[in-house]
Structure 1
Amino acid sequence: MTTGTLIVLLLLCPVVAVVGSLAGRSARFAEAINLFGSLGSFGLAIALVCRATPAPVIYGRSYIALDALGAWVILCAALVYMLSSIYAIGYMRMLGEDERLPSFYALFAGFALTIFVGPLMNNPGLYWIAIELTTLVSTFLVAFEHEASSIEAAWKYIVIVSAGISLALLGTVLFYWAGTFVNGPVYELTWASLVTAAPRASQSIILLSFLLVLVGYGTKIGLAPMHTWLPDAHSESPAPVSALLSGALLNTAMLGVIRFLRVADAAQVGGVCRVVMAALGLLSILVGALFIVRQRGIKRLMAYSSVEHMGVMALGFGFGGLLGTAGALYHMLNHSLNKSLMFFGAGNAMRAYQTKDIRNIRGIWLRFPAQAALWLAGAAAITGAPPFGLFQSELTILRAGIGQPSFAWAVYGMAFLLIVIFIAFINHFRVMYLEPAASDPGEGHALALSAWCIAPMWLALLPLLLFGLWWPDVFWSYFRAIAQALGGGAS
C-alpha cells in the first residue's frame, strides 16, 4: 500500500464516521461507527509515521505534503481522537440525550477530520483554511450542551480565534509578498518556496510576517496573552471535546508556527523570532501558574494547565536544536496522553457530583477508588513529576535552554514556575481527595461509571508511565531527523 493511499484512507475514516452518523440517525450506530473510524485513523497514523521522511513527499499536484513533523502531529491527534471516542461512549450516554448523539458524533468526527487535514497542507494558505475550518466545526461542539455558559463560551471562542487567525492570514500574505521580490509577482506558494526565497527576501518583512503569524496562530494555540478564549471553551465543552481541543487541536496550530519559524531561520532573523517565542512561552507558563493557584473550576483548572503546557512547547521550539526540538515533540505526545486522562477524570467527577466547583467535590477516594488512583497519578504527571513522560520532556527542554546563555532567564523562570504549579495543582487534589465530604458518599444515589469511562484513562496512563521510564531510541532518531530538517536554532 502506497503512502498516498494511506493518506486517503486516513481522511476517509472520519468522513465515513460523519456520513454514517448522519445517515444512520441512531445513537448506538453513531458511537460505534465513530469508534471504528477513530481506531482506523490511529492505525493509519502509526503507518504514516513509519513511512514519513524528514523531507516532505508531495502528493495531489503539490497541494498535499507529508513529512515526519506533520506525521507526528497527526499521530498525536489520532491518539486523542481514539481515546476520546472510547470515552465519549460512556460520557455522552450519561447526558441522556440520545436523539442528539448522531449529530454530536458527526461533528466530532468532522472536527477530527479538519485536524488531520491541517498538517497535510503544503500550501500555507490552505493550511490557514484548514485551521479556520477547525474553528467553525468545533464551535458547535463547544456549545453542544445548550447551556447559557456553553453558548457564551462558543461565541467567545469563534470571535477571538477568528480575529486572531485573521492576523495569521495577514502574516501569510506578507510572507508571500516577501517572496515576490525573489520569485517574481506570481509564484507557487508552498512551505518550500518560502524557505528557498527567504535568504534573499527582505528581513524586515519576514520578521513582521512571523510576528503576525505568531500572534495569530498563537491565539489558536492558547499562548498568553491571546489565550482568553481557551479556559471558557475547554471548561464548557463536553469532556471528550475538551480532550480533543487540548490534546490535538492546539498541536496542529503550533505546527504552523514551527513551519514559519523555519522560514524566519532561513532569512537570518530566526534569533529574534525565537526570543519572542520563548518570551510568549514563559508568559504563558506564568499566566497558567497564577490562575492554577487560585482556580475553583475543575475543568478550568485543566484548561489553564493547557496554557502552561503550550508555553512549555513554545519554549522548546524557541530554544531549538536537537534537545529543544526533541523535548517539544516528546512533550506534544505526552501532553496529548496526559491531558486526555485529566479531562476524562474531570468529566467523571463533574457527572458524579453534578458540579464543576472544586470546593464541592469531596471524598473521591471513597466514592470512586479506581478512578481516584488513575486521576491522581495523572495529576502528578501533568505537573511534570517523575516518573512520567512529561518529566522527561520538560527536563530535556530545560537542558536545551541551559546550553544557551541568552536563554538563561527563560530556563530559570520555567523551572521556578513549574515548582509553583506542582504545589498548587497537588493542593487542589488534596482538597478533593482528603478533605471530608459534606455527606456520606454512600448516601443517596451514587452514579456508576461504566468501563467506557475508565478504560481510556488506563490507556492514557500506561504509555505515559512507560515513556517516563523509557525514552525509545526510535523516538530519538525520529526527532533528530526532524531537528535537522528544520535547521536553525542552537545545535
Structure 2
Amino acid sequence: MPTPILSIWLILAMPGAAILLALLIARPRWAEYLNLVAATVVFALAVSLPWRVHGTLVWFGGYLMLDAFAAWVTLCTATVYLLASIYALGYMRGMAQARGRLHHFYALFAAFGLTMLLAPVQNNPGLYWICIDLTTIVSAFLVGFQREPECIEAAWKYIVLVSAGLALALLGTVLFYWGGTFTLGPAYAMTWASLREVAPHVAPPLLVVSFLLVLIGFGTKVGLAPMHTWLPDAHSEGPAPVSAMLSGALLNCAMIGVVRYLGVLEHAGLGFLPQMLMIVLGSFSLLVAALFITRQSGAKRLMAYSSVEHMGVVALGFGFGGPLGVAGALFHMLNHSLNKSLMFFGAGNMMHAYDSKNMQAMRRVGDYFPATGSIWLAGAVAITGAPPFALFLSEFTILRAGFSGGQWWAALWMGLLLVVIFVGFLAHFRNMYYGEAPPVPPHRTISAWQTVPMWLSIVPLLLLGLWLPNGLWALFEHIAAGISVGVIP
C-alpha cells in the first residue's frame, strides 16, 4: 500500500488522466471505461486512507494538507464517484440525444470528481475556495448536459445563486486573512493552522463577521436553508449520476470548509455563537425539507429536498459538538453519500422506464421491477432514518449529543421533524408501489449497470446499521479531537 501522500497524488492523477485520454481518444466506450477505471483506483486508494493518516501531513510547499478529516471526506467522495461511474454506464447509454457527446460527458464527470477530491486536501483556505468554485463551473456543464430548456435554466440558476454565495465566502476568507495581519504582519502564509493560532489575538467581532460570511457562502453550496434554492432544480434536472455526485459528494466537500472555520473560532474561545448558528440553520433546513417533501410531485426533486434535510442533520451534529455530535455528523456524511446515491439511481431508473419525472406516472413499481423496486423501497425506508439501517444509528447519535449537551429543544425539534419527513416521504412511495396500475406499462428494461450500484449502496447501509466496527468509532473520536469542536457551554 502506498504512503498516504503518494495515495493522494495517485487519487488526483487518475481522474486527471481519464480527462485527457477521454478527450484525446474521443470515443464514448473508451471514455466510459477510462472513467470507471479511474474511479475504481481512486476508491481502492481511499478506502483505507483515514486509518493510515496519523496527525497532519503537509507537503508540496505547504499547499496540500492531509488529516483524518480530509481523508474521511475523500473516502465519501471516492465512494460516490465509483458508484456513480458504474451507474452512468447503463444510464447514459439510454440517452439517445447525448450519444455523440458521451466522451465530453465522461471528461466533465472525471473533472467533477477531480475538483471534489482536490478541495479537502487544500491547506490554504483561499485555494480551498478556488477548488469549491471550480466544482461549480464543472458541474454546471453537467447539470445542463441534456440541453433541454429546463436543464439549461437549472444550470444558470445554479451558477448565479452559488456564485453569489461564494462571493460572500471569498469576502469572509479575505477578512479572516486581514485579521491575522495585525499579529503576523501584512504578508503571511495563510493556512488552516495559522488561522487557528492567530485567532485568539483577533478582535472577536471581526472573527464573528468573517464566520457569518463564510457560513452563508459555503452554506449555499452545502444546501442549508434558506440558501438552498438552487439545489432542487440542479439536482432534479441533471442526469441521475450527476445528481448523485452533487448530493452525495459535493455537499460534504463544502461542509468541511464550514467545519474548519468553526474550529478556528473554537480556538478563539468563541464556540458558542457559531455552533448555535449551525444549530439554527440545521433546524431551519429540517423544517423547509419537511414542508416541501410532503408536497413534491417530481421523483428527483423529492430526493433533492431530502438532501436539504440531511445536510441539516449534519449541521446539527457539528453544532451540538463534542465527540458524540461530531461522530454522528461524520457517520451521517458517509451514510447519506451511500443512501442518496441509491435513491437517485432508483429515481433515474424509474424516470427512464416510465418516461416521466412525475411520481404520479410511476405506479406498481414493485410489480414491474421486483429487484430494482425492492432495493429502491429499502433505500426509501433507510433515507428516512428508520432501523435497521445506518442512518438511524447516525441520527440517533446526533440526537443523543443534543440531549446530553443541553440543546434538548433542538434535539426535540429534530426528532419531531424527522417523524414528519418519515411519514411524508414514504407516503409518496406507498402511492408509487401500491397505487392503481398505470394506463401505459413501462416499456424500458433496466440494465445490470443500473442495478449493481444500488446493491453496492444498500448492503453497507444495512451492515453498518447492524454493526458499527470499533475501528470506525475510534476514527470518529480521533477526527473529533482534531476538529476541536466542543460542547456548547
Aligned-residue offset at 1:363: 1.2
**C-alpha distance in 2 between matches for 1:168 and 1:287:** 23
- Equivalent position of 2:354 in the other structure: 353
Contact 1:389/1:469 (CA < 8 Å) preserved in 2?
yes
Q: 1:489 aligns with which of 476, 486, 489?
A: 486
**C-alpha distance in 1 between matches for 2:56 and 2:173:** 20
| DSSP 3-state at the match of 1:294 | coil
User: Is 1:394 paired with 2:395?
Assistant: yes
- Equivalent position of 2:408 in the other structure: 408
Contact 1:327/1:394 (CA < 8 Å) preserved in 2?
yes
Q: Which amino acid in 2 is paired with 1:416? A: L
User: Is 1:26 paired with 2:27?
Assistant: yes
Counting matched residue pairs gives 486
- Equivalent position of 1:70 in the other structure: 70
**C-alpha distance in 2 between matches for 1:229 and 1:83:** 24
- Equivalent position of 2:317 in the other structure: 316
- Equivalent position of 2:477 in the other structure: 480
**C-alpha distance in 2 between matches for 1:5 and 1:425:** 43
- Equivalent position of 1:231 in the other structure: 232
Contact 2:321/2:487 (CA < 8 Å) preserved in 1?
yes
Q: Which amino acid in 2 is paired with 1:343? A: F
User: Is 1:452 paired with 2:456?
Assistant: no
Contact 1:271/1:489 (CA < 8 Å) preserved in 2?
no
How far does the alpha carbon of each residue in 1:398-417 deviate from its partner, in whole angstroms, 9 at most, with x for none?
00000122x22211110000
- Equivalent position of 1:142 in the other structure: 143
| DSSP 3-state at the match of 2:47 | helix
Q: Which amino acid in 2 is paired with 1:323? A: L
How far does the alpha carbon of each residue in 1:312-331 deviate from its partner, in whole angstroms, 9 at most, with x for none?
00000011110000000000
Aligned-residue offset at 1:394: 0.1
Contact 1:378/1:461 (CA < 8 Å) preserved in 2?
yes
**C-alpha distance in 1 between matches for 2:359 and 2:311:** 24
**C-alpha distance in 2 between matches for 1:207 and 1:394:** 29
Contact 2:51/2:475 (CA < 8 Å) preserved in 1?
no
How far does the alpha carbon of each residue in 1:353-383 deviate from its partner, in whole angstroms, 9 at most, with x for none?
0111111111111111101100000000000
User: Is 1:340 paired with 2:341?
Assistant: yes
- Note the aligned Cα RMSD (angstroms): 1.0
**C-alpha distance in 1 between matches for 2:440 and 2:300:** 25
- Equivalent position of 2:194 in the other structure: 193
1:47-446 map, 5 Å = 47-53=48-54, 55-96=55-96, 97-405=98-406, 407-439=407-439, 441=441, 446=443
Q: TM-score, normalised by structure 1?
A: 0.98
- 5+ residue gaps, structure 2, are none
Could you list the runs of 4 or more consecutive aligned residues of structure 1 that deviate by over 3 angstroms after TM superposition?
none
Aligned-residue offset at 1:270: 1.2
| DSSP 3-state at the match of 1:438 | coil
Q: Which amino acid in 1 is paired with 2:481? A: Q
| DSSP 3-state at the match of 2:419 | helix
Aligned-residue offset at 1:4: 2.0
Q: Which amino acid in 1 is paired with 2:338? A: L
**C-alpha distance in 2 between matches for 1:454 and 1:156:** 31
Q: State which drifts further: 226-235 or 168-177.
A: 168-177
How far does the alpha carbon of each residue in 1:246-294 deviate from its partner, in whole angstroms, 9 at most, with x for none?
0000000000000000001011111111001110000001100100011
Q: TM-score, normalised by structure 2?
A: 0.98
Contact 1:203/1:268 (CA < 8 Å) preserved in 2?
no
**C-alpha distance in 2 between matches for 1:462 and 1:47:** 19
**C-alpha distance in 1 between matches for 2:111 and 2:102:** 14
